[in-house]
């Protein structure tokens, strides 16, 4: 019998030879592309329970609440944040049932901020569907967001861990700070890369970090594991947001259910804009000022914006920055033993970055 590594080499050799004939290479590459499959395999059963809890806890005698909340909760999000809680718990060998309720809290906090974000951005579409504010109005979205946020804290109180409450209330405050900071900088094309990173560290990455930290806390693992998973989540969250910013200018709409140009139309300053502005000449900076600061956008402006980004490598380099944070996230998991949970968490990093290609 062959040793495993010999077997692998043999298979690869065979594959290479076959590939010449039927071009299996492409198929093999696709099958190797990082995906959320290992994560789904790891936590899929728990996620069913999380979805059940989400539906249960968004009920209210006030009918508009489950209607509106159901619209956004069911709108095809990946449930990435609650899955991080479930996978972190799994990585830490957690064997109880608390992780599902706490993952639902994480999703409620995320959903509440989405509802408020869409109001703040006047967004009409999210993931290709009408936003709650465009269907029920801004007022209902603000108030149902408040409801879901309160619900999240109620569920945490039922769980009974002050440590978890501390982690998620801190994350919520930091997220709100990040949103305000983004609002303040939202029409300033001269925003620095550092300021922008500060925004996304708060508004996006803080909840990723908190979602991951809950796992080791409920598994009662040592502080060093908490910090490792916090760092993994924080850096993954930064990478995720940077790639999201790239996709907003470069996504293939059908694949991602994402509308290209939303950020541009909202006048949002993201890293691709920051880089293109700083690398641009006087005339180009005038273009960014007109379209994003003065909000004077005309036909063809979005294409021109994308053209400038390509000219200066702003999208490519934003992905490179994301890859940097992804690498830090991967290394943060170094202290954990190999296994399906660690593999799944590592693959999320690659998945988040590969989305850009």
- For the packed helices 37-57 and 138-159, what is the interaxial angle rounded to 10 degrees? 100
Of 146 and 220, CB closest to a second copy = 146
Length of the chain, in residues: 357
Residue with tokens 């465009």: 134
* Binding region for a second copy (CB under 8 A) out of 22-30, 140-148, 209-217, 340-348: 140-148
119 binds a second copy (CB under 8 A): yes
From the list 11, 74, 183, 320, which residue makes contact with a second copy (rule: CB under 8 A)? 183
Q: Comparing C-alpha atoms, which of 13, 19, 12, 33 is closest to residue 350?
A: 33
R_g of the chain computed on alpha carbons: 22
Smallest distance, a second copy to C-beta of residue 117, A: 9
Shortest spacing between CB 134 and a second copy, in angstroms: 16
CA–CA dist 106, 284 (Å, integer): 41
The minimum distance between CB 182 and a second copy, in angstroms, equals 9
Instruction: Work out how close the CB of 187 gets to a second copy at its nearest, in angstroms, rounded to a whole number.
Output: 12
Residue 283 CB neighbours (<10 A) = 7
Give the interface segment with a second copy, choosing from 95-103, 133-141, 306-314, 339-347 (CB under 8 A).
133-141
Choose, by CB under 8 A, the member of 64, 224, 320, 335 that binds a second copy. 64
Of 86, 88, 58, 84, nearest in space to 72 by CA: 58
Interface region with a second copy, contact rule CB under 8 A, candidates 19-27, 153-161, 228-236, 276-284: 153-161
Q: Of residues 202-221, which lie at the interface with a second copy (CB under 8 A)? A: none
Q: What are phi and psi of 252, to 5 degrees?
A: -90, 110
Instruction: Give the Cβ contact number of residue 279 at 10 Å.
Output: 16
> In this structure, are strands 129-130 and 125-126 parallel, antiparallel, or unpaired?
antiparallel
Q: Is 18 in the site for a second copy (CB under 8 A)?
A: no
CB within 8 A of 307, min separation 6: which ones?
none
Contacts of 141 (CB under 8 A, 6+ apart): 68, 115, 116, 118, 119, 131, 132, 133
Nearest CB to a second copy, comparing residues 185 and 318: 185
Q: Quick one: which segment of 15-23, 178-186, 242-250, 271-279 binds a second copy (CB under 8 A)?
A: 178-186
How many residues form the binding site for a second copy (CB under 8 A)? Answer: 41
Interface pick for a second copy out of 91, 120, 251, 348 (rule CB under 8 A): 120
**DSSP letters along 167-221, please?**
HHHHHHHHHHHHHHHHHHHTT-TT--HHHHHHHHIIIIIHHHHHHHHHHHHHTT-
Pick from 21, 22, 31, 61 the residue near a second copy by CB under 8 A.
61
Cα–chain-centroid distance for residue 176?
17
80-91 vs 98-121: helix crossing angle, rounded to 10: 150
Contacting residue, 125, 142, 260, 302, with a second copy by CB under 8 A: 142
Residue among 113, 131, 191, 204 that touches a second copy (CB under 8 A): 113
Q: Is 75 in the site for a second copy (CB under 8 A)?
A: no
Please report, as residue ranges, which positions from 156 to 175 form the binding site for a second copy (by CB under 8 A): 156-157, 160, 162, 165-166, 169-170, 172-173, 175
For residue 48, state whether it binds a second copy (rule: CB under 8 A). Answer: no
Candidates 6, 10, 150, 295; binder of a second copy (CB under 8 A) is 150
Residues lying near a second copy in the complex (CB under 8 A) are found at: 60-65, 113, 116, 119-120, 138-140, 142-144, 146-147, 149-151, 153-154, 156-157, 160, 162, 165-166, 169-170, 172-173, 175-177, 179-181, 183-184
């Amino acid at each position: 019998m062959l040793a495993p590594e010999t077997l692998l080499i043999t298979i690869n050799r065979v594959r290479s030879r076959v590939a010449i004939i039927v071009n299996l290479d492409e198929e093999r590459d696709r099958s190797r592309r990082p995906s959320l499959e290992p994560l789904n395999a790891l936590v899929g059963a728990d996620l069913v329970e999380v979805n059940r809890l989400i539906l249960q806890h968004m009920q209210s005698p006030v009918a508009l609440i489950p209607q509106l909340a159901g619209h956004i909760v069911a709108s095809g999000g990946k449930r990435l944040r609650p899955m991080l809680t479930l996978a972190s718990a799994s990585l830490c060998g957690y064997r109880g049932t608390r992780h599902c309720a706490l993952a639902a809290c994480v999703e409620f906090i995320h959903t509440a901020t989405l509802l408020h974000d869409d109001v703040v951005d006047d967004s009409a579409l999210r993931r290709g569907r009408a936003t709650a504010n465009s269907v029920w109005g801004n007022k209902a979205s603000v108030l149902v967001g408040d409801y879901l946020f309160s619900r999240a804290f109620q569920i945490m109180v039922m769980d009974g861990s002050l440590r978890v409450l501390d982690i998620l209330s801190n994350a919520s405050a930091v997220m709100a700070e990040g949103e305000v900071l983004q609002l303040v900088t939202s029409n300033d094309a001269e925003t620095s890369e550092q300021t922008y990173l500060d925004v996304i560290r708060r508004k996006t990455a803080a909840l990723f970090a908190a979602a991951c930290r809950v796992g080791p806390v409920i598994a009662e693992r040592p502080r060093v594991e908490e910090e490792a998973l916090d760092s993994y989540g924080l850096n993954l969250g930064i990478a995720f947001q940077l790639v999201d910013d790239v996709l907003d200018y470069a996504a293939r709409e059908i694949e991602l259910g994402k509308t290209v140009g939303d950020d541009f139309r909202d006048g949002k300053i993201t890293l691709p804009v920051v880089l293109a502005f700083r690398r641009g000449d006087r005339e180009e900076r005038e273009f960014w000022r007109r379209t994003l600061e003065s909000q004077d956008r005309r036909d063809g402006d979005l294409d021109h914006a994308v053209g400038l980004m390509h000219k200066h490598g702003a999208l490519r380099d934003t992905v490179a920055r994301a890859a940097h944070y992804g690498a830090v996230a991967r290394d943060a998991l170094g202290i954990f033993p190999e296994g399906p949970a660690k593999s799944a968490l590592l693959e999320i990093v690659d998945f988040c970055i590969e989305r850009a290609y």
